[in-house]
Amino acid sequence: MSNFIPMIVSLLIWGVLWIYVFRLDRRVKELEKNA
């Protein structure tokens, strides 16, 4: 099982980046609505 930890962590990293992208995307939409 411990052999798979690095890959699982990598997927988490990947997830963090996607969450960040979606947060930024939502912020752009909010700002566009307010503009």
Q: Least Å distance between CB 4 and another protein?
A: 6
Kindly state the smallest distance separating residue 9's Cβ from another protein, in Å.
5
In the chain, the amino acid numbered 30 is: E
Length of the chain: 35
**Rg, Å, the chain Cα set:** 15
Q: Does 27 bind another protein (CB under 8 A)?
A: yes
Residue 19 engages another protein in binding (rule: CB under 8 A): no
φ, ψ dihedrals at 19, nearest 5°: -60, -40
User: Which spans of this chain sit near another protein (rule: CB under 8 A)?
Assistant: 2-7, 9-11, 13-14, 16-18, 20-21, 24-25, 27-28, 31-32, 34-35
